[in-house]
Amino acid sequence: MTSWHEYVGVSHIHSTDSDGSKSVPEIIRIGQKTGLDFLFFSDHMTLRSLHQGLEGWHGNTFVLIGYEIHDKSSRNHYLAFNIDEVLPGEFSPQEYVKEVNRRGGLGIIAHPDETRVLPQFPAYPWTAWDAEEFDGIEIWNQMSEWMEGINKLNMLKMFVSPRRYLTSPTPKTLRIWDQLNKQRKVFGTSGVDVHAYPYGIGPFKLIIFPYEVQFKSLRTHLLLETPLSSDDQIAKKQIIDALKNCQLFISNYRWGDAKGFSFYAESKDRIAKIGESISSQDNVTFIIKTPQKCRIKLLRDGTTISEGVGKDLEYSCQKPGIYRVEAYKGKKGWIFSNHIWLV
Ligand SMILES: [Zn+2]
Ligand SMILES: [Zn+2]
C-alpha cells in the first residue's frame, strides 16, 4: 500500500479586499475553527493582504494569497497565485496567462463555462481557450452552479439551503478538461467563490452562503509525499507543486467527509497515485477506496469503463489512456479525482 499526506482546504475565497463580506483575518479564523488545512484567497484585482504579510501559516491553517484577474470587459476570470504584483489591467487573457506562467506563478481558469438564468447576475465564462500556459481549471465552482440552478420558482428553497442544490461539475467542463489532459497535465480543482454578500432579489435580502457554510461544501484535497513544512516558503512551494502535478481530488463535504479517499494504480513493481503515470507494459490494477458507501465510477478518456456501489472498486487492464474517478451519493456528485496516466 502506498501512503501520502492528505491536506484539505478551500479555494477561491473573496474578502473585503474586494467584494466579499468579511476581512481576511476574520475568514482565517472561520477556516481555523472549521479545521481546514489551507485557504486560498483570490480577491478581484488586488493583492492587498499579501502585501500586508498575511500569507503563510496561521496556527494549523496555511493561507495562500493570490488574486482574480479579469480582462478589460470583466470577463475571462483567472486565479493567479505565487505572484508578487497585480499585472497591468489592459492585458488580454492570453497575455495574463502567459505572464503569470513566465513569473513562475500558478494560474487557474475560474468558472470556465458559467451560464446564468437571472438577468441581474451576468455570466463570466472563459472564452480564451487559445491561451496555452494555464496550470489548472476550476472544474467545479459552487457559486456558478448555484446561480445556474436558480429560477423564480425555487428561489426561496435555494436561498434557505444552498448546498443541497449542488449536483456535480458540468459535462462540458469535464470534457474540455479530459481533452486537455490528453495533451498535457492540467489539474482540475474546486472553487467556492465565496463572497457572502447579501443578495436582494425581489423581497428577499439575506446572506447566501455565509463563510461557515461555504467551508463545509466544495473542498480541495491535496496529496503530498511529505508533510507540509512549518516554513512558510517551503510549505507554499509544496502546495503549488502538488497542484501543478495534479496530486489532488475534490469533494462536496455536504455529502460526507471524503478524507481518506484513495485512487491508485498498481503493477508488479510500481504504484502510481493521482497525478502520476504508469507503464502499460504490465497488467495494471486500478484500486479505488472511499470512506463511505457510494456509487463509484472509473473513467478512461472521459468514458465510464467500470462502476459499482460500495466502498471500493478494482479494475485491471493494459489500455493506455487517462483514468479518473467520480463518486456519487445518489445523483449528487461527491468526489472527483484528478487523472492517472497509463502510458
Ligand atoms: Zn470570477
Ligand atoms: Zn471569484
Listed by start position, the domains of the chain span 5-253, 262-342
Those residues whose C-beta lies under 8 Å from the C-beta of residue 161, and which sit 6 or more positions away, are: none
CATH level 2 (architecture), domain 5-253: Alpha-Beta Barrel (3.20)
Distance 110 CA to ligand 1 centre (A): 6
Residues within 5 Å of ion ligand 1 by Cβ? 77, 110
Stretch 204-219: mean pLDDT: 79
For residue 282, pLDDT over 80 is answered with yes
Give how far Cα 228 sits from Cα of 18, 167, 340, Å.
29, 32, 23
pLDDT of residue 9 exceeding 80: yes
Mean pLDDT of all residues in the chain? 91
Distance 41 CA to ligand 2 centre (A): 9
Q: For residue 193, which ligand has an atom nearest its CA?
A: 2
Ligand nearest to the CA of 14: 2
CA of 275 to the centre of ligand 2 (A): 26
Of the ligands numbered here, which is closest to the C-alpha atom of 15? 2
pTM for this prediction:
0.93
| Averaged pLDDT, 224-238 | 97
Residue 158: what pLDDT?
Answer: 61
What pLDDT shows up at residue 315? 98
Distance CA 107, CA 68 (A): 10
Residue type, 165: Y
Query: In which band, very low, low, confident or very high, does the pLDDT at 3 lie, cut at 50, 70 and 90?
Result: confident
Q: Which ligand is nearest to the CA of 122?
A: 1
Domain 262-342: assigned CATH number: 2.60.40.10
User: CA 191, CA 169: separation in Å to the nearest integer?
Assistant: 11
pLDDT for 122: 72
Q: What is the mean pLDDT of residues 314-339?
A: 96
Lowest mean pLDDT among 41-45, 75-79, 158-162, 297-301: 158-162
